[in-house]
Amino acid sequence: MRASEGRERGYVTAEAAVVVPSLIALLGLLLWGGAAVVAQIRCVDAAGAGARAAARGEPPERIGRAVREVAPRGAGLETSREGELVRVRVSARAAGPGPLGVELEAEAVAYAEPG
């Protein structure tokens, strides 16, 4: 065995001790980001479902039910009417590691059906 081999033997262990936790942290952030994107898409879909229900003239409890079927758990709901337009806003929080929680929001607008 050469003398240089003995000195270099611990380098792989030291590098692995730094790289492996970094890769695990990166994987965790990627998974959290993917979950946040999915939650945002669910907010958009829920706002659209709520706007369609509101445009049909559904009562508030049915609008809420339409939104809750699609929205992330614990999402908030706001509805308003401005002339012929109905507006539905859905908001939710995507919890994350430490301070990385993100507020999500989506809004949909539809023409109210006559009658």
Domain holding 24, by residue range, is: 5-111
- 74 and 92 in contact (C-beta within 8 Å)? yes
pLDDT at 2 over 90: no
Q: What whole-number distance in Å separates Cα of residue 75 and Cα of residue 70?
A: 10
Domain count, the chain: 1
Q: What whole-number distance in Å separates Cα of residue 89 and Cα of residue 36?
A: 18
**Model's pTM, two decimal places?**
0.80
Q: What is the pLDDT of residues 8-18, one digit of tens each?
A: 666 777 778 88
Neighbours of 86 (CB within 10 A): 24
- 43 and 72 in contact (C-beta within 8 Å)? yes
Q: Is the dihedral of CA 76, 79, 80, 84 positive or negative?
A: positive
Q: What is the pLDDT of residues 62-94, one digit of tens each?
A: 999 999 999 999 999 999 999 999 999 999 998
